[in-house]
Structure 1
Amino acid sequence: MPEGSQEKTEQATPRRLQEARRKGQVAKSADLNGALLLLITALFALLFKDNIITRMQSYFYSYFNNFIKNPQPDYYLVQLLIDFTINIFAVLTPFFILMLLVALGVNIAQVGFMLAPEAIKPKFDKLNPINGLKNMFSGRAMFELVKSLLKITIVGWVVYAAIRGEMANLLAIFHLPPRALLNQVLTIALKVILWGAVVYLGIALLDLIYQRYAFQKQMRMSKQEVKEEYKQTEGDPQIKGWLRRRQRQLLTNLARKEVPQATVVVTNPTHYAVALKYEQPMEAPQVVAKGMDHMARQIREIAKEHQVPIIENVEVARFLYAHVEVGQAIPAEMFQAVAEILAMVYRMKNKGFK
């Protein structure tokens, strides 16, 4: 097989993309999940930090004030730790729920709802250390390493610049009362996180564009692969062509046999042709041959050759072609229309029409 035929020059077919999706292979950016999680969580914390500080302050004041005024046995410290954990969890529960919803939303937005059981099946070839080394030093792995280093450098520089811009406020916090100090520290920390998250989000969007480009390139197919897939899904084109030719041949043979015996041929006039036969003691006219385009032209030519009347009636021809199979009698709703056509044929014959 020529080498050029194996070049991946063709866009991936829907079937190939579907198979890749079933295996969990999709174009997505893991950085986008992390960036949006960080950004939305930081915004949420910045908006509700006053409420969080108030709840935590109330909790610490209540428990420690009670502990100082009323000395408790040693095991009370364990109970205090348990209560502290429960309260912290209650305060942070909205964050956990928000992070879960954001993670689900970002994944669905990138790849839609997807279940890929094959992606979680154990693959023993991954345990092969030689394959592991090959993957570790592959071109894609090196690219991911460079991208990670670049990402850390850019985000780190932005965070450093943000902290340096807040240095005066950081130095002033030592003169603030506890609540104001905590509020100021959280505000500065969240602002720094927000700056880092915004830059991280920009990097993630660029990564998403690259991941989609790389995935499309990875999914490309050679011309031979496209042909093989077409054979598997649609059948061999040569076989399908032979079947079509054989079908046309059978229809032509049937038309050559039945049309000369027909009473009339009803036409569209060019696209459809239906040959009808009616003689005693038949209860209703029958369709003995029908065809469209090339086959219709053959039916008309055979009818002319054997002097079978050809009547143009668009509605009747279309209806009979679409709803009545060869060998079937016409339906009752067509009796009147076909009777008028047959009456016209008989009048033509009585006048000596050949």
Structure 2
Amino acid sequence: MAFLKVKLQFFADEKTEKATPKKRQDSRKKGQVAKSTDVNTAVILLFVFFFLWFFGGTLLGTTLSNLMKHVFQTYLLLELTPKSFEMMFVELTMEAAVVLLPIMLVAMIAGIFSSYVQVGPMLTTDPLKMKLSKLDPIKGFKRIFSVRAIVELLKSLLKISFAGVVVFLIIWFNLEDVMLLSQKSVIEGFATIAQLAALMSVAVAILLLFLSVPDYLYQRYDHEKQIKMSKKDIKDEHKNMEGDPRIKSKRKQKQMEMAMQRMMQEVPNADVVITNPTHYAIALKYDEEKSDAPIIVAKGVDYVAQKIKRVADENHIVMVENKPLARALHSQAEIGDQVPEDLFKAVAEVLAYVYRLKNKQVN
């Protein structure tokens, strides 16, 4: 018997169910989403290398040429003093910023774009929080020798192998240009090397982008596996949601709004509205084919009563002031109930008055 209980408990705790929307939302708030870093790396490299291919000659060539001229024509003739050193440091820093800032901006845009494509708009600081569990050596050892670590190792070896093959093929097909570098001028040689480097970089970036697609699919599969829930988890989540005071309050408010809307839709069909006249309002409808006594289709006090009277006035429903009857109907019956027997006579007198009034208006 004990073994059977343990077995049932094991199956109850086994994570076999897909994650609920709330579980997915909670995981997303913690930064736990299906995201491939390979996609980010490939897109960033592709954007940066394309940028260098199209604008690198102008950006690097002109800047480096001017910088070298300035160094040999000015800096080498200066006397080395703290002030001159500071001046050179500031100028070189500004020149480096002119070259690096556009590249860093392109890389940042590419990183944001690749992350947005994968997970959509998301901003969370939860992964940045300090967690002592991350310093646990036992958990760290398990992560190093886990299935995920083995997959990452195989991915890295695969990427290195393919990238090496691509670089080898590009050099092989341009081997003649490489062999002739010694016979070219410095500018021509630099241009050839830059062209080959750009070609190899873009080719490797495109390769990595293709290789990142199966990695992204694997990350989605692994993420779905990580956030799976057991049947017990789903039941507990449902209980927690049901017991949440905020959710209960919102649900109750929504139900009241819907009930109010339905009630107001019935007021135009009423035969009479009995008022207090300011604090109570009860709308009655009598259909002898459907019921033996008039039915209360709407009732309310204060604000609701004023709203009932306003709707009745807009639809030309007769309103009769009868304080005792209004209070009695409000306290003794609910919406949808028939008028209590002890109030039949008083209600009948009101309805008779309404019918006589309607007949006069018709005649």
TM-score with structure 1 setting the length: 0.69
1:43 equivalent in alignment to 2:31 = no
In structure 1, distance between residues paired with 2:75 and 2:201: 36
Please give the secondary structure, in 2, of the residue aligned with 1:325.
strand
Residues 258-269 of structure 1 aligned to structure 2 (within 5 Å): none
Q: Does 1:135 align with 2:120?
A: no
Q: 1:14-29 alignment to 2 at 5 Å?
A: 14-29=21-36
CA contact (8 A) 1:303 1:309 kept: no
2:236 counterpart (215, 219, 228)? 228
Cα distance per residue 1:142-177 (max 9 Å; x no partner): 122222222222222222222222211111222222
Tell me, yes or no, if structure 1 residue 180 matches structure 2 residue 188. yes
Q: 1:308 aligns with which of 271, 293, 296?
A: 293
**CA 1:301–1:215 in structure 2 vs 1: closer, same or farther (change >3 Å)?**
farther
Please tell me whether the aligned partners of residues 40 and 114 of structure 2 are also in contact (alpha carbons under 8 angstroms). Answer: yes
How high is the sequence identity, in percent, across the aligned residues?
31
Structure 2 unmatched runs, 5+: 1-7, 253-263, 320-349
- Offset at residue 285 of structure 1 (A): 8.9
CA distance in 2, matches of 1:80, 1:176: 37
Q: Does 1:287 align with 2:282?
A: yes
How far residue 217 of structure 1 moved from its aligned partner, in angstroms, is: 1.9
Q: Secondary structure at the match of 1:26?
A: coil
Whether contact under 8 Å (1:286, 1:328) holds in the other structure is yes
> CA, structure 1 residues 267+115, in 2 after alignment: closer, same or farther (shift >3 Å)?
closer
Give the CA deviation at 1:7: 3.3
Counterpart code for 1:102: A
Match of 2:317 in 1: 338
Query: Could you give the per-residue CA deviations for residues 103-142 of structure 1, whole angstroms, max 9, x where no partner exists?
Result: 2332233233433333222222222222211121112221
What is the deviation of 1:53? Answer: 1.2
TM (normalized to structure 2)? 0.68
Aligned match of 1:261: none
Among candidates 193, 197, 207, match of residue 189 of structure 1: 197
Question: By how many angstroms is 1:36 displaced?
Answer: 1.1
8 Å CA contact retained: 1:276, 1:286 = no
Match of 2:16 among 9, 13, 24: 9
Following the alignment from structure 1 to structure 2, what is the Cα–Cα distance between the partners of residues 12 and 175?
Answer: 65
What residue number does 1:218 align with?
Answer: 226
CA contact (8 A) 1:287 1:325 kept: yes
What is the CA-CA distance between 1:11 and the residue it aligns to? 2.3
Q: Which moved more, 1:108-117 or 1:76-85?
A: 76-85
Distance 2:228 2:119 in 1: 19
Residue 55 of structure 1, CA deviation: 2.7
Q: How does 1:112-261 map to 2 (within 5 A)?
A: 112-235=120-243
Distance in 2, Cα, partners of 1:331 & 1:325: 10
Taking structure 1 as reference, are residues 16 and 72 closer, same or farther at Cα in structure 2, changes over 3 Å only?
same
In 2 relative to 1, CA 227–275 (structure 1 residues): closer, same or farther, beyond 3 Å?
farther
Which of 89, 95, 99 is matched with 2:97 structurally?
A: 89
Closer, same or farther: CA 34–309 of 1 in aligned 2, 3 Å = closer
Structure-2 change in CA distance of 1:343 and 1:188 (3 Å)? farther
The size of the alignment, in residue pairs, is 301
Does structure 1 conserve the Cα–Cα contact (< 8 Å) formed by 2:272 and 2:354?
no
User: Secondary structure in 1 aligned to 2:282?
Assistant: strand
Aligned counterparts, 1:75-86, within 5 A: 82=89, 83-86=91-94
Match of 1:61 among 49, 65, 69: 69
Conserved in 1, the CA contact under 8 Å of 2:39 and 2:212?
Answer: yes
Change (3 A) 1:182 1:75: farther
| 1:15–1:66 distance in 2 versus 1, CA, 3 Å | same
The one-letter code sitting in structure 2 at the alignment partner of 1:12 is A
Name the Cα RMSD after superposition. Answer: 4.3
In structure 1, the gaps of 5 or more residues are: 245-265, 291-298, 311-316
CA distance in 2, matches of 1:235, 1:195: 57
Range moving further from structure 2, 72-81 or 58-67: 72-81
Indicate how the Cα distance of structure 1 residues 287 and 161 shifts in structure 2: closer, same or farther if over 3 A, else same: same
Q: Is 1:53–1:183's contact at 8 Å kept on the other side of the alignment?
A: no
Give the aligned partner of residue 325 of structure 1.
300
Aligned equivalents of 2:126 and 2:230: distance in 1?
Answer: 25
1:257 is matched with which residue?
Answer: none
What is aligned with 1:30? 37
Query: Counterpart of 1:293?
Result: none
